[in-house]
Structure 1
Amino acid sequence: MSEDRHPLFMPLIFVGGLIFGFGLGFSQMARPEVVLNFLQFEDFGLLFVMFGAAIVSGIAFAVMPRIRDNAPLTGDRYERRLKPFDRNVLVGGAIFGVGWGLSGICPGAAYASLGVGNVTILWALAGMFAGAYLQGVWRSKRATTETAPAGAD
């Protein structure tokens, strides 16, 4: 952790996570059957939840850089970090979407789902951790082979 962060940084991250988790539980996004009904075009209630989150985020991203130059707790500058749209983004997004469709839950909501008593979501969480681990191993091996000298055997 950076030395120049405000002492309330970590407690406020925790409080923000609690609010986020409560919101997911309250809006029913932590229930896989509700999410699956949305993905099957049977229940559009989650559309309002997503629009609400997008509106709040959009306003925050548009207004905060005009009010302050730096984030209050970290001191980091407000700036856009554009990432390239490449094959990895497309493949990763497709895999994420398939996992979301199969389990009915995304990673953030999976933890909130535990809070509403859904213990079978532990299977999905185990799959998420295994997939993230395997991707890390794959990326490490790929980086090692790409940086190896061409003539080395």
Structure 2
Amino acid sequence: MHKLPILKSIRLYLVSFSFVYRNNFFGLLMGIAFGFFMSHAGATTYDYHAKMFLFQDFQLLIVIAMAVVIAMIGVTLMKKFHVTAVATGAEVDFVKKPYQKGLIAGAMLFGIGWGMTASCPGTIPAMIGEGKIAGIFALIGLLIGTMAYGILQSYIRLEKAQKTTSNS
């Protein structure tokens, strides 16, 4: 058993705990802020999405456009100043992803899901946090779709491997 006073022991424990989990705290705080702003902008409300897709109200479209512009500026600045990641300390790398065969079909499925649920992956946790039951169903659909994608990718790789071995 240690001989430190109880207050000093608690303080040391809290400091070490916050040091070890600082990235998780940062992520949690940023997630809460993101969810708050998504909710405040109306991105978690079905009516805003429906009106945007019907070209009746452009509030949500303006929010999305602003987010794109701010992200473009942020990425440009991060590239220019060689920003390092908070978690690892390594320089943030912007690798262009190669085109994949099923990208168009995947984008169409994403759009259909967004139109049907009025939510994208970023708004689902905020919807659940607001207590909207539709967010739970959207999350279930997102998880099933992700699982289906993984299974399909495994199947495609297996097919390619079998064709390669049969041609050899």
- TM-score of Structure 1 vs Structure 2, range by shorter chain: 0.7 to 0.9
CA RMSD of aligned residues (A): 2.1
Residue in 2 aligned with 1:54? 68
SS at match of 2:107: helix
| Greater mean alpha carbon deviation, residues 81-90 or residues 66-75 | 66-75
Distance in 1, matches of 2:92 and 2:70, equals: 17
What is the distance in 2 between the residues matched to 1:88 and 1:54? 24
- With a CA cutoff of 8 Å and minimum separation of 6, indicate the structure with the bigger relative contact order: 1
* Cα deviation digits, residues 47-67 of structure 1 (max 9, x gap): 221122123212211112333
Does 2:83 correspond to 1:95?
A: no
**Which residue is 2:90 aligned to?**
76
32-41 or 84-93: which moved more? Answer: 84-93
- As a proportion of its length, which structure holds more helix? 2
CA contact (8 A) 2:84 2:92 kept: yes
Q: Name the CA distance, whole Å, in 1 between partners of 2:48 and 2:24.
A: 32
The one-letter code of the counterpart of 1:146 is K
Matched, 1:28 2:42: yes
- Matched residue pairs, number? 147
* C-alpha distance in structure 1 between counterparts of 2:23 and 2:60, whole Å: 30
Aligned: 1:124 with 2:138: yes
Structure 2 unaligned residues grouped into runs of 5+: 1-18
Indicate whether 1:150 and 2:166 are aligned: yes
Higher deviation after alignment, 90-99 or 49-58:
49-58
3-state SS in 1 of match to 2:94: coil
- AA aligned to 2:102 is N
SS of the aligned residue for 2:152 comes to: helix
Find the residue that maps to 1:150 and give its secondary structure.
helix
1:33 offset after TM fit, Å? 2.0
Structure 1 residue 16, shift from structure 2 partner: 1.2
Provide the C-alpha distance between the structure 2 equivalents of 1:50 and 1:78, rounded to a whole number of angstroms.
24
- % identical equivalent positions: 24
- Please state if 1:67 is matched with 2:71: no
